[in-house]
Structure 1
């Protein structure tokens, strides 16, 4: 049964009011395309939210912050409700996704290699932001792969492979039960101190393939492949990259999770990883924090986006 809130949103366009539904319980309501002041969003824009007990009906206290000279407005809770760390990380994830999507379009990418796909979150985000090209996702663990396969089932341009990628073709034991942080590497002392999940000792045997060996199959049918490599393998990205061999030169761009503070034994530091990527012809276009220490503010990992400038379209 439709709630009163939803019925109200559905009626507003009939009286010339534009509604942007931001999700459960939150919407932006605009009259005549001009800002409208109600909660700080502007003179002609209301922010309509479902309220909690004791709050004023229709609105919740907060403010709107204009992002530089753009037309974008960030809707903020009242200062006493804000968590700076969560806000920064959420903003970084959003900006990273927007930037990657823009780079895919600029460089004419038509095949994204999604290595360390988990349940398909990255691929679904790309689809939501308008990328329509091929996606090839790799996830080695049985339970998570079943969720990935289900997510991709109705998308003919999304292929999935149950395997990991590495420096050589082999089998290996991967640590499981670490949720989105399953890894072929053991947890470091720092990692164990930060995440209690690392105390679990479950493993699963998986197949590991080389990136160079799967590329032809993954890009089959593409007349002029322009691939992009995304890696999120919990400390194993350089091993995946090494498995590309000389065929790494075919990628027009890439994204890698690089570590400032190492969660896994034997994983490379950020400097080593970035130097390897730059030596292969890629240049950084964006760096976005993935996790931060709540007590110190230090960044633990960044999402690093790099593109091959030589592959950029002519102006």
Structure 2
């Protein structure tokens, strides 16, 4: 039977077709499919995660996103730079289930200088490579400040109750392997991880994605979700992703 819709007839001539769907339902399902934050929080609910460690909390954006997607469990955010921590503390002030600590996590307890970037989110203990500053000039370092560093293993018993299931997000600008090195015992009790992983060297001495992927596999974690977060504006090269891993 010939199509009475001229647009549909034209589309069929080019190998496509026009189908009727419930547009609101379709758009809602499509939005859910590509809403990685929604996917993450659903995964937290499915696994009964009730405590998220937000390592590299900055001004609280990650915690706000979790709350916006109806995660109601405990959040503990870590931000070592005092001027940034003040904003984080204010962000979490009215949330009784959101704690904040003005420390960094690393592989040893110490006082250490951190490089503070112009945009604050690119601040790191590590030197920044030219590839990073070329791709994002606003990330250049502008000052340094001494901060307190502790290991997760050293403070785990103070943070986590025996009945809590823990997910840890690490966004520390190339310092991920040091955070994990200081969490060798704690990691065995953690159900899932979210890390910012690089495919190109943006910070001096950082662990790149292939090595991080293999290391986490050996620790019993399975890659579950990846979201592009940093693309070189001129070449469109993928530089960084947020990678989510769970124990399965």
Same-fold status (TM-score > 0.5) = yes
Give the aligned partner of residue 162 of structure 1: 102
1:289 is matched with 228
Match of 1:54 in 2: none
- Whether 2:70 is the aligned partner of 1:113: answer no
Query: Does the 8 A contact of 1:119 with 1:147 survive in 2?
Result: yes
C-alpha displacement of 1:282: 0.5
Partners of 2:49 and 2:67 lie apart in 1 by: 14
Q: CA separation of 1:231/1:200 partners in 2, compared to 1, >3 Å: closer, same or farther?
A: closer
Q: Deviations over 1:117-144 (max 9, x none)?
A: 0001001110111111110000000111
Gaps of 5+ in 1: 1-41, 46-63, 75-90, 310-315
- Normalising by structure 2, we get a TM-score of 0.85
The Cα shift of 1:73 comes to: 5.1
1:189: Cα distance to partner?
2.1
Q: Which of 151, 156, 177 is the equivalent residue of 1:215?
A: 156
Give the structure 1 partner of residue 183 of structure 2: 244
Q: TM-score, normalised by structure 1?
A: 0.68
- Using the alignment, how far apart are the partners of 1:135 and 1:277 within structure 2? 23
Which secondary structure does the structure 1 equivalent of 2:52 belong to? strand
Aligned equivalent of 1:299: 238
> For the residues of structure 2 that align with 1:189 and 1:294, how far apart are their CA atoms?
14
Q: 2:112 aligned with 1:172, yes or no?
A: yes
Could you say which residue in structure 2 is the equivalent of 1:8?
none
Q: Does the alignment pair 1:135 with 2:86?
A: no
**Structure 2 stretches lacking a partner, 5+ long:** 1-19
The DSSP-based 3-state class of the residue aligned with 2:235 is: coil
Distance 1:177 1:247 in 2: 30
Give matches, 1:1-315, under 5 Å. 66=26, 71-72=28-29, 95-179=35-119, 180-219=121-160, 222-309=161-248
> 1:251 & 1:268 partners in 2: Cα distance?
20
Q: How many aligned positions are there?
A: 228
Once residues 214 and 241 of structure 2 are traced to their aligned partners in structure 1, the CA distance between those partners, rounded to angstroms, is: 15
Residue 72 of structure 1: CA displacement? 2.5
- Post-superposition Cα deviations, 1:41-75, rounded to whole Å, max 9, x if no partner, equal x8997xxxxxxxxxxxxxxxxxx9956xxx5356x
Match in the other structure for 1:25: none
Partners of 2:170 and 2:118 in 1: how far apart?
Answer: 18
> How far has the Cα of 1:262 moved from its partner?
2.0
Aligned structure 1 segments of 4 or more residues deviating by more than 6 angstroms:
42-45
Q: What is the Cα deviation at residue 198 of structure 1?
A: 4.6
CA-atom RMSD in angstroms: 2.2
**TM superposition shift of 1:199:** 4.2
In the aligned structure 2, how far is the partner of 1:244 from the partner of 1:43?
50
Checking the alignment, whether the CA contact within 8 Å between 2:118 and 2:140 is kept in structure 1 is no
Kindly name which structure, 1 or 2, has the bigger radius of gyration based on alpha carbons: 1
CA distance in 1, matches of 2:201, 2:110: 25
Larger RCO (alpha carbons 8 Å, 6+ apart): 2
* Kept in 1: contact 2:58–2:79 (CA 8 A): yes
Aligned equivalents of 2:165 and 2:141: distance in 1?
40
